[in-house]
Structure 1
Amino acid sequence: MASPRLVVKNELEEPTLRLAVLIDADNAQAAVIEALLAEIARFGEATVKRIYGDFTSSASVSWKRVLQKYAIKPVQQFAYTTGKNATDSALIIDAMDLLYTRKFDGFCLITSDSDFTGLAMRLREEGLTVLGFGEKKTPDAFRNACHKFVFTEILRPSRITESDEPPPEVKTKKKSIKAKAVTKTVEQKPQFPEEFVLTALEQSVDDTGWANLSVFGSYLTKLQPDFDSRLYGYKKLSDLVKDKETLFEIEKRQTPGSDRAILYLRAKMQ
């Protein structure tokens, strides 16, 4: 079986992978489905979209509202025994059936459950790309079993909008209340992993001491599958690199025979 094209699409590539998207309804949020599918489209085509869960349960109401709109096939799975997750088994069985059709280049597993770690590892053993999507509570074991893991929190729209502002006549009265609400709503960005990033850059430079941005990005993901520039407030890796002037020197190089420029970088001498 031919190996699929790797892993994380850089900012200039076109998506080529044929992907099977499998959603664990018990451990995923319907609120992010639109942004989630848009994120998957960066990597390839969602050829199959299936979701697994007990859709007779009140907990699945939010999913039932979006299934038809986004052409996601529901796979009903009743909870046969209390305390046993039949949904996991159904998803894993389907994943293996799809694997053996040999029609897919990769799988997208949307879950925050570490029970799918073995499945992710098995798919990787077959040479397929495995993309994971889940909340920050997702255990390291599953996150690291994927080629790339995306936190769904960064796909959620900001909950602070202009509509949150109180009317002028009550603004003063509610000032302290609003301040408390904003404190709870705004999530603090994690500390930027400067040492890790510089180490990855050192390993991805060429003989001239410079690293292609795409190569650097791929190496970051190989070392830490859940690394994402959006966690630190940057839409793209190139934005992060350009903003960190104290860490990086950057250089744009013209591609021969093209008007496209490629970004190269190296660690700034201290």
Structure 2
Amino acid sequence: MLINCKGKLVNLATPKVMGILNCTPDSFFDGGKYKNEKQLLQQAEKMLTEGADFIDVGAYSSKPNAEFVSEDEELKRIVPVVELVLKYFPETVISVDTFRAKVAKTTIEAGAAIVNDISAGLLDENILETVGKLKAPYIMMHMRGTPQTMVKLTDYDDIVQEMLFYFSQRIDEAYKHGINDIIIDPGFGFAKTLQQNYEVLNKLELFKITDLPLLAGVSRKSMIYKLLKNKPEDALNGTTVLNTVALQKGAKILRVHDVKEAVETVKIMMNFEL
């Protein structure tokens, strides 16, 4: 289960941890927290020191009802961050959280290695072709609509069955465009109710039928803090619980805000037969 990240082969047989580095002012948890180069570098260094295998840089908040961000603004936010991290930590494997082909191309050319697309190619008709030409690993997520409309698109007859059909179609399209390394993300919190999120997590092992690595992104999300009736700031313990469940059910990448705790979770779980 290898992915080629700019010539560096990463083996996902052992689960990996992806640290989140948001450069947006409106992220649901850490929006606006890293406002200058020093703060961004401190956070990147912290995550790498704690054992992050990847750093996922995002410049367009995808939380429910997030504000629209223009392509030019997204590029203005994200490209300097990619360049900054690689200047000081050149061995970092950077993933860029974008659904836009131009942003993907520009950031990969700036040194990023992975494209993380919340729309699986449905919000920009050119991104699959672009990623295929770039020969970059591609994370495709399940979502309906856009961040602005997804909260209203939660009507499913059988959510897991419909998600598997969605992935079968999107995987086929990705292969047609020459994308070789594909990772699937169920999209917890995207076009799913609280109950649906837990149904998907409960049946996560069914996604192994795709024979592709699985990414789980539950970090401090509303499926935790709404259930526990607290806030994202109080959702670290719940995150660790759900990450443990995700690993038991086959997740190969944990996308998290809190790297140290996720790395420890992986180390402990590797002492059991996953």
With the length of structure 2 as denominator, give the TM-score of the two structures. 0.36
TM-score after normalising by structure 1: 0.36
Structure showing greater radius of gyration is 1
Relative contact order, higher structure (CA 8 A, sep 6+)? 2
